[in-house]
Amino acid sequence: MKLILGSSSKYRKEILEKAGYVFDVLSPDVNEKLIQINDPYERPLIVARAKTDALISKVNEPALLITSDVIAVCNGELREKPESIDEAREFLREYSQGVAPEGVTAIVIFNTVTGEYYEGVDRAQVFYNPFPESVIEDFIKNGDPLSRAGGFGVQHPVLRPYVKKIKGDEESIVGMPLHLLKRLLTQAGY
């Protein structure tokens, strides 16, 4: 059965390609800011479902449609993509001072033949060693923090040397935990 990644994330696309999956890509048109949920840990699953629902009518063949969403949580609060360079700078300073952001990723797979949904959530947390202001400025210049939940990139070469430890699966921070994806694809009959 054909795989379709319902995402505009270059990071998710890269992870799937490196894992050897062959798939098409559709970009969902969902205004995530309109989705307000009190519990930040529920939000990625609600958003991933909304992305699936936005794309179902665009798939006219037997396929497994894969959507995903990742958020960052810090001290129990949702941390979206920074809205400004100043906010990104503030987030990065906090991480350098010991605040450990948690990546919460949801994956939803929809089988267009059976109409069934398969879904799951995975969490991981990254702990950074202190890093200088010059690293923050370099990441702002080269790391595209405004496109990343929480404004950080655990895999980015500027921040990578400062990763002290990751509790959980790094791919859950990036936005596509392969162990969860493989389990859901198996459940969906792939």
Domain ranges of the chain: 2-187
Q: Taking the mean position of all CA atoms in its chain, how far away is CA 9?
A: 8
Which residues are within 8 A (CB) of 13 and not within 5 positions of it... i.e. 6 or more apart? 5, 7, 25
37, 43, 47, 49: CA torsion to nearest 10: -100
Catalytic site residues?
69
Average pLDDT over residues 57-65: 96
If one looks up domain 2-187 in CATH, what number appears? 3.90.950.10
For 73-127, what is each residue's pLDDT tens digit?
A: 998 888 888 999 999 999 999 999 999 999 999 999 999 999 999 999 999 999 9
The Cα angle at residue 173 between residues 44 and 99, in degrees rounded to 5: 100
